[in-house]
Structure 1
Amino acid sequence: MRDLGAGFGYLLKGQRWVARHGKQYGFGLLPGLITLVLYAAALVALAFWGEDFVAWATPFADDWSSPWQGLFRGFLTVVLFALSLLLSVLTFTAVTLLVGQPFYESLSEKVDQDVSPDGTAPESGLPLWRELWISARDSLRIVVRAVLWGILLFALGFIPFVGQTVVPVIGFFVTGFFLTEELTAVALQRRSVQLRERLALLRSRKLLVWGFGTPLGLAFLVPFVAVFLMPGAVAAPP
């Protein structure tokens, strides 16, 4: 249980670090703001045209009598929007890190230099285009894993009682794990640690990972909070 507290402590240390380095904090806000605008636009569009999309996707229900057609398509519209919100939470970090790779790489290097005894930071030695390719490839792999987990948990949510109690808790821990993987990738990729090795490392310290990532995932559910916590989250990984 000590690792849970230690993980949360790393999260707080990252936020304190960016609070003391205002320039780096402002620099690190930009990718989150860009991603937030993109996600907000997509969700607003879904809210306006989600019902039309569901009607288009279910032509077999055109001849259903009232109220069954409305109930069926209304239920699917709610499911579509709820699933989109869940996927937004699961993928926000991956997309933000991909958009902000140069920003967060610079921020991570500054943290390494600050905490290193000799003031230096590890370097991958790879050109920028290669780092961006590796980041995009690994992010896609993690997003696919997160989406599969999201679909599974969403389906399990229909199980009476368990779906309303146990499944949401599991969902937060799963979200915390994937958030931590994405955030640690910034520093570990620079140390040439591959995705498979990173996942094995995180699985070996699950309590530490959950102590760091789960509170962050909960905070990310609050509108706009993710944008302001991202710079500190990048600075914080254990």
Structure 2
Amino acid sequence: MRDLGTGFGYLLKGQRWVFGHGRWFGFGLIPGLITLVLYVGALIGLAYGADDFVAWATPFADDWSEAWLAVFRGFLVFLVFALGLLLAVVTFTAVTLLIGQPFYEELSEQVDKSVSPDGTAPESGLPLVRELWISARDSLRIVVRVAAWAVLLFALGFIPVLGQTVVPAIGFCVTGFFLTQELTSVALQRRRVDLRKQLAMLRSRRLLVWGFGVPLVVSFLVPFVAVFLMPGAVAGATLMARDLTGEGGQDTREDPATVRLTVQDPDAR
């Protein structure tokens, strides 16, 4: 259970880091704002076009009585928009990371440098185009996995009691896991860790991942919050990536507690 608190601690440390480095906070907001504008436009279009889509998809119901037709198609319109909203929440991070790859790469590097004893950050050595291709390819693979989980959980949601209690909890854990994967991938790709190994790392520390990802998912449900938390989420995920790769124990460059311990008690080791 300790890993749950550690994961949440990385989320808080990331937010503190960006607020303590205001320039990088503003820099990290740009991709989220661009994605937000795109998604708002898409959801508005979906809201206006859902009626026509449902009517086109259900021609067999044209001859139903007006009351039953209104209830049936009204439910389907709600379902289409709800699924679109769920997809938007799930893919927001992936799209933001894709748009903001150069921004978040730079932000993640700065976090690495600030906690590394020698002030350096790992570099992939790959061209930017190659990095964008890998990011887009891996994001698509994750979206497919998330979509499969979404369909399964939606179907299980119709089970009485379990569908209203256990299934939503599982949904938050699944979404939190994949959200964390997307965020840590920024730092892990620079370390040349491929998607398969990333997933293996995260599965081996599920409580750590859930402690970081689930609170973030819950906060992302509040409109516009995702935009302002993304820079700190990338920073916190970078710190978590260092932990996952065994570098976390070296993060003492900006650790005042470690400095005080060294000064007050040289023999504490």
RMSD: 0.7
* Structure 2 alignment gaps of length 5 or more: 241-269
User: 1:189: which partner in 2?
Assistant: 189
Q: Distance in 2 between matches of 1:58 and 1:11?
A: 45
> What is the TM-score normalised by the length of structure 2?
0.87
User: 2:139: which partner in 1?
Assistant: 139
| C-alpha displacement of 1:102 | 0.3
> Is the 1:83–1:154 contact (alpha carbons within 8 Å) kept by the matching residues of 2?
no
2:118 alignment partner, SS class: coil
User: 1:35: which partner in 2?
Assistant: 35
User: 1:7: which partner in 2?
Assistant: 7
User: 2:100: which partner in 1?
Assistant: 100
What pairs with 1:105-184 in structure 2 (closer than 5 Å)?
105-184=105-184
> Is the 1:142–1:178 contact (alpha carbons within 8 Å) kept by the matching residues of 2?
yes
Q: Distance in 2 between matches of 1:232 and 1:66?
A: 51
Render the CA deviation track for 1:97-120: whole Å, top value 9, x for unaligned: 001000000000000111111111
| C-alpha displacement of 1:66 | 2.3
2:165 alignment partner, SS class: helix
Q: Distance in 1 between matches of 2:56 and 2:66?
A: 18
1:64 alignment partner, SS class: coil
User: 1:73: which partner in 2?
Assistant: 73
Amino acid at match of 1:11: L
> How many residue pairs were aligned?
238
User: 2:229: which partner in 1?
Assistant: 229
> What is the TM-score normalised by the length of structure 1?
0.98
Amino acid at match of 2:202: L
Amino acid at match of 2:74: G
> Is the 1:184–1:234 contact (alpha carbons within 8 Å) kept by the matching residues of 2?
yes
> Is the 1:177–1:210 contact (alpha carbons within 8 Å) kept by the matching residues of 2?
yes
Render the CA deviation track for 1:29-80: whole Å, top value 9, x for unaligned: 0100111111111111111221111111111111112211111111111111
User: 2:253: which partner in 1?
Assistant: none
User: 2:254: which partner in 1?
Assistant: none
1:67 alignment partner, SS class: helix
Q: Distance in 2 between matches of 1:23 and 1:56?
A: 49
1:236 alignment partner, SS class: helix
Q: Distance in 2 between matches of 1:49 and 1:193?
A: 42
Q: Distance in 1 between matches of 2:40 and 2:150?
A: 20
**Percent of aligned positions that are identical:** 76
| C-alpha displacement of 1:127 | 0.5
Q: Distance in 2 between matches of 1:153 and 1:99?
A: 29
Give the number of the structure whose alpha-carbon radius of gyration is greater.
2
Amino acid at match of 1:4: L
Q: Distance in 2 between matches of 1:220 and 1:72?
A: 31
Stretches of 4+ aligned residues off by more than 3 angstroms: none
